[in-house]
Structures are given as C-alpha cells and as structure tokens.
Amino acid sequence: MSASRKGNRRERELVNALDEAGFAVMRAPASGAATDRELPDVLAGNGDDFYAIEAKSSSGRPIYLEGEEVEALVYFARNFGAKPRIAVRFDREDWYFFHPGDLYTTDKGSYRVKKETALAEGTDFDELVGDTERTSIGDFDG
C-alpha cells in the first residue's frame, strides 16, 4: 500500500474515532495539495475543546515534520481559535498527541517524534478527548 493511501486511511481512522468520542470533526481535503493555503489534516471540536491536527503515521521509524509545516499548523490554529496538535500513530500502536512546542527539534529545524517518545510522553486518545487524565506517582500523597 502506498504511503499516501496508508496516511489517508489513518486520517480517516482518527476522524472516525473523534466522531465516536462526540466531536464534530472534518478532514481537510488533500490538506494543502488542493489549495494554496496550508490546512491541518483534521479539525475537531466538542464545544469545549477545539483542535487543529496534523496527523502522521509510521511503521516504526521516527516521524519527521518540516518546520514550515508545523509553523503553518500553529498559525492556522491560532487564527482559528483551536489548539494545535501533532497526532502520531505507529503500526500496532494507538494515536498519541503532542503540542508542537513539546516536539524534539533537529539541528536543521525540522521536528521529530520517535516511537519510544510517543509511548512515554504523548497524550493518548482517551486523555485528548477528556475520558481520562494523566497521573503520576507524584500525584498521590503517601
């Protein structure tokens, strides 16, 4: 399966999951290819939270995003009144979400997410949609 077909399928999976979680959601057609404007892959809102999402998937290799791509997402989200999020999905894993400011920046100005980083530090789907809240051992008095 081509990378673009796989990416499109993953974006549709994300749209369907957000819809099932009670969000009004839409996928931008061709996200940038159909227009001169840089658009996020997915827009989602539930009346309380509004997200502009750039979605990326990988078989397991690190995911890289160009600096301009992330800057365009942040710009659009700010103007739209949404929270910018980078959604990453590695094969046989769930979706994980990052604020662009939390991504690792390479020396060349691009952004990188490794699978290990996504699993350890990313916001999982349930937390994004408000079904759960992340806690750590330090959150409990003992």
**Side-chain half-sphere exposure of 77, counting CA atoms within 13 A:** 25
Q: Tell me: pLDDT of 35 over 60.
A: no
63-65, strands of its sheet edge to edge: 63-65, 111-113, 104-105
Is there a catalytic annotation at residue 31?
Answer: yes
Largest CA distance in the chain: 56
Q: Tell me: pLDDT of 6 over 90.
A: no
Per annotation, catalytic residue among 2, 4, 31, 59: 31
Q: What residues pair up with 57 in beta bridges, in sequence order?
A: 89
69 annotated ligand binder? no
140: left (phi over 0), alpha (psi -120 to 50) or beta: beta
41 annotated ligand binder? yes
66 annotated ligand binder? no
Question: How do residues 67-113 score in pLDDT, each as one tens digit?
Answer: 999 999 999 999 999 999 999 999 999 999 999 999 999 999 999 99
CATH code at 3-130: 3.40.1350.10
Q: Tell me: pLDDT of 61 over 70.
A: yes
31: left (phi over 0), alpha (psi -120 to 50) or beta: left
Residue ranges of domains in the chain: 3-130
Q: Tell me: pLDDT of 132 over 70.
A: no
Report pTM.
0.85
